[in-house]
């Protein structure tokens, strides 16, 4: 979770709050669904060389540890020293320090930090909501991707999910109507603004960044709106299984709380999106 909006230091002042969120059923679902969707599109490692991955706005490092367990060498980048401290602790506890490197840096300076065509896998999860120029970040990401089969995993807040949240969770119909045209929402964990995305908006940004969409997924389609009689923790595996089925269906993807896109560099050649 790399916050690069000017004056935005919410993740530096209380990084532990974000770590606690990732341990909730909602946080676990977001991570599990996103990484499950990514695994369907991972490039193949060669016998002589493992895959190289970059986790932008790495947060607590939980996703990077999962990738390292798959045999990848992972670089974590975050602009928050407090988040990197949490990530380092996660890496040490995992016993995978030999596969994971940590760097403090801003997503707006990727070209100054990494060489072009350095990575096979790039995670950009819940980062574009907080940066000043999402398209510029994605253009830099595209330059870091190896041209053959590198994959970008992109996760952003969906505007439609904010509409449903206001209507179904709080019964606030005025807020639901306002969110139909809102470019920014309210971030509930720390407060403050969070950028909202629409599918057609994300399609345009990726195309302008010379990235070709491979697949579209929805993350947390129904889990945020389940009745009180269903416990997200006690029924976690059943909810996860249902969400996995819903995530791949186009009619449900558009109303999910998060949009998960898998994309490749245009240099890899045209590819049909699912």
Phi, psi of 104 (to 5 degrees): -95, 120
Q: Is pLDDT above 80 for 269?
A: no
| Secondary structure element (H or E) that encloses residue 77, with its range | strand 73-78
pLDDT in tens, 131-142: 999 999 999 999
Q: Is pLDDT above 50 for 2?
A: no
pLDDT over 70, % of the chain: 91
pLDDT in tens, 41-51: 998 876 557 89
Pairing relationship of beta strands 258-265 and 151-157 according to DSSP bridges: antiparallel
- Considering the domain 10-157+197-264 in this protein, what is its CATH number? 3.40.50.150
DSSP summary character for residue 5: S
**Nearest 10 degrees: CA dihedral of 33, 218, 212, 206?**
-110
3 state SS of 54: strand
pLDDT in tens, 194-234: 999 999 999 999 999 999 999 999 999 999 999 989 999 99
């Amino acid at each position: 979770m790399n916050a690069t909006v000017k004056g935005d230091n919410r993740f530096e002042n209380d990084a532990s709050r974000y770590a606690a969120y990732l341990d909730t059923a909602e946080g676990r679902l977001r991570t599990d669904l996103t990484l499950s969707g990514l695994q369907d599109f991972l490039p193949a490692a060669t016998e002589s060389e493992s895959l190289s991955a970059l986790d932008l706005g790495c947060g607590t490092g939980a996703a990077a540890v999962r990738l390292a367990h798959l045999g990848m060498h992972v670089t974590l980048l975050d602009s928050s020293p407090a988040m990197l401290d949490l990530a380092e602790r996660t890496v040490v506890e995992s016993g995978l320090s030999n596969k994971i490197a940590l760097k403090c840096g801003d997503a707006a300076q990727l070209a100054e930090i990494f060489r072009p065509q350095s990575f096979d896998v790039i995670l950009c999860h819940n980062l574009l909501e907080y940066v000043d120029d999402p398209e510029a970040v994605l253009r830099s990401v595209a330059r870091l991707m190896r041209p053959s089969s590198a994959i970008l995993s992109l996760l952003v807040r969906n505007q439609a999910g904010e509409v449903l949240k206001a209507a179904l969770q709080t019964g606030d119909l005025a807020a639901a109507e306002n969110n139909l045209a809102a470019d920014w929402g309210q971030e509930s964990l720390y407060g403050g603004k969070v950028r909202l995305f629409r599918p057609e908006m994300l399609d345009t940004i990726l195309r302008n960044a010379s990235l070709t969409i491979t697949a579209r997924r929805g993350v947390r389609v129904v889990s945020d709106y389940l009745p009180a009689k269903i416990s997200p923790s006690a029924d976690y595996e059943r909810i996860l299984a249902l969400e996995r089925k819903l995530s791949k269906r186009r009619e449900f993807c558009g109303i999910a709380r998060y949009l998960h896109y898998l994309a490749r560099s245009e240099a890899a050649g045209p590819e049909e999106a699912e």
